[in-house]
Amino acid sequence: MVLKGVIFDLDGVLTDTAEFHFRAWQDLGEKIDISFDRAFNENLKGISRMDSLDRILEHGGKKDVYSIEEKESLAKEKNDDYVELIKEITPADILPGVKKFLDDCREAGLKLGLASASKNGPAILKNLGLTDYFEVVVDPASLTNGKPDPEIFLKGAELLGLDPSECVGVEDAEAGIASINSAGMFSVGVGSPESMKQADLFVEETIELDLDAIIKAHAARG
Ligand code: B16
Ligand code: MG
């Protein structure tokens, strides 16, 4: 099987916005008297805004305390805070090796797509100066199910006009790897060996992303 497309997650793969999400959720947590640490924040990677809020409320024992309207207002408060923080993002915040990897993909004639759960994805891509690399950006608002459901990666392949088997997906979150795998796509993980156990191939850091190795591993799977 020849590789024709690469579908990227954004947060944690192209740039590290996890810290900004953490700070914005923590600020909200202080207001509603729920505290959590970085380890808990790992559970929010790749998870949509409202699902993240639900996990935080459950963690704080406040699952049934707020109405839908109140939860929407809390999620908006967090996002307003987050939007301020991501205004600081510049091309200097592209994770190490990512620009070269994207250039290698482009030179190899691969089609590139973005499959981020973030509704702020296009704004972040713009601040990073990476918008032009991506032929398609899946709109998370158009989806019924978030990661780990395969919908977002299936949609990415469909928009690129490719079969999932002709694509690889690149992710830093366990929920994201599960999404890629169940889409029938070859998964490339960025992270620790423990968190990337389910990935078909993994690297610990973005600087280690190597297109030739990925092409070979994808072809070897058949
Ligand atoms: P927003 P990814 C995800 O992005 C983040 O990992 C996750 O922490 C966040 O809650 C989610 O996007 C939604 O983001 O509130 O900006 O719409 O990793 O799928 O690129
Ligand atoms: Mg991510």
Q: Are 130 and 214 found together in one domain?
A: yes
Catalytic (active site) residue 149: no
Q: Are 9 and 51 found together in one domain?
A: no
Q: Are 83 and 26 found together in one domain?
A: yes
Cβ of 117 less than 6 Å from ligand 1: yes
Of 88, 118, 140, the one marking the end of a domain is 88
Among protein residues, the one with the nearest Cα to ligand 1's atom 15 is 49
Q: Are 196 and 107 found together in one domain?
A: yes
Write down the pTM of the prediction: 0.93
Q: How confident is the model at residue 58 (pLDDT cuts 50, 70, 90)?
A: very high
Buried b or exposed e, range 122-138, using 16+ CB within 10 angstroms: bebbebbebeebbebbb
Cβ of 78 less than 6 Å from ligand 1: no
CATH number at residue 136: 3.40.50.1000
Among protein residues, the one with the nearest Cα to ligand 1's atom 3 is 46
Number of domains the chain is built from: 2
Mean pLDDT, range 36-58, rounded to an integer = 93
Q: What is the pLDDT of residues 101-114, one digit of tens each?
A: 999 999 999 999 99
Catalytic (active site) residue 212: no
**Residue range of the domain that includes 204:** 5-16+93-221
CA 145 from chain centre, in angstroms, equals 14
Q: Are 64 and 32 found together in one domain?
A: yes
Q: Are 136 and 61 found together in one domain?
A: no
Mean pLDDT, range 14-24, rounded to an integer = 94
- The pLDDT of residue 221 is 86
Closest listed residue to residue 35, CA positions, set 52, 59, 67, 17: 59
Q: Are 57 and 115 found together in one domain?
A: no
Q: What is the mean pLDDT of the chain?
A: 96
- Kindly tell me the sign of the dihedral angle through the C-alpha atoms of 207, 209, 211, 216: positive
Q: What is the pLDDT of residues 143-172, one digit of tens each?
A: 999 999 999 999 999 999 999 999 999 999
